Chain A
């Protein structure tokens, strides 16, 4: 149980275009989801926290106009990378916190974004 499904698993896009990444909680309601970014051989860096029905909270240094987060329902959060550039190429992972499981975290399978 407590599965987060993330799509797509990989995407290649042209510079200047936008890409949407979806995360769905399959068997539970995720009132809060977290979006991370991971560079090669680096650990995960929190980008933003999204709460269902309200605006996302972004970490310092993360451009909210570039990384649009929508959490319109209790089972779906999306991250849209707008006007993507090669430096946005990275591995993006979403996560949900499980209140009824001791506040453990469950993660999606990640999305490899390559901007050419």
Chain B
């Protein structure tokens, strides 16, 4: 059974710092991996989608990497800002393109001004 783990559960950093959020999954046979952002009481906003054949994706200050063989992904946030404060969720699409999306419990990020 696929399990997704995110470390750390919470992170507090001063504004301007570069930071890394970690995601690991137990079964490497994933179709893709997606990083989301969730603000309190809100839905999920997709940040980056990495297909299983890809190594990384970039969008602005965000960079996500994928090492499928070791079951790991990282989300790198450069020059963090208070507006980046949110919960970041990692999810893998398990069991092929028609499979289920399996979520980690998220990392709650707080960026202090």
A residues within 8 Å of B by Cβ?
A: 6, 34, 42-44, 46, 91, 93, 95, 99, 101-110, 112
Complex alpha-carbon distance, A43 and B102, angstroms: 10
Which residues of B have CB within 8 Å of A107? 36, 43-46
Complex alpha-carbon distance, A104 and B49, angstroms: 6
Complex alpha-carbon distance, A106 and B36, angstroms: 10
The answer to whether B42 touches A110 (Cβ under 8 A) is: yes
How many A-B contacts if CB must be within 8 Å? 49
B residues within 8 Å of A by Cβ?
A: 31-32, 34, 36, 41-46, 49, 51, 89, 91, 93, 97, 100-101, 103-106
Which residues of A have CB within 8 Å of B44? 44, 93, 95, 107
The answer to whether A105 touches B43 (Cβ under 8 A) is: no
- Given A34-B101, A43-B103, A43-B106, CB of A103 within 8 Å of CB of B93: yes
- Given A103-B32, A104-B32, CB of A109 within 8 Å of CB of B105: no
* Smallest Cβ-Cβ distance to A111: which chain B residue: B43
- Given A110-B42, A112-B41, CB of A105 within 8 Å of CB of B106: no
Which residues of A have CB within 8 Å of B89? 43-44
| Of A46, A99, A101, the contact of B101 (CB 8 Å cutoff) | A46
The answer to whether A44 touches B43 (Cβ under 8 A) is: no
| Of A34, A46, A91, A105, the contact of B34 (CB 8 Å cutoff) | A105
- Given A107-B36, A107-B43, A110-B42, CB of A102 within 8 Å of CB of B49: yes
The answer to whether A103 touches B31 (Cβ under 8 A) is: yes
Which residues of A have CB within 8 Å of B106? 43
Complex alpha-carbon distance, A45 and B41, angstroms: 16
Which residues of A have CB within 8 Å of B31? 103
* Smallest Cβ-Cβ distance to B93: which chain A residue: A103
Which residues of B have CB within 8 Å of A46? 100-101
Which residues of B have CB within 8 Å of A110? 41-43
Top 9 A-B pairs, shortest CB-CB distance: A107-B44, A109-B43, A104-B49, A110-B43, A43-B103, A43-B105, A107-B43, A103-B97, A44-B103
Complex alpha-carbon distance, A102 and B91, angstroms: 14
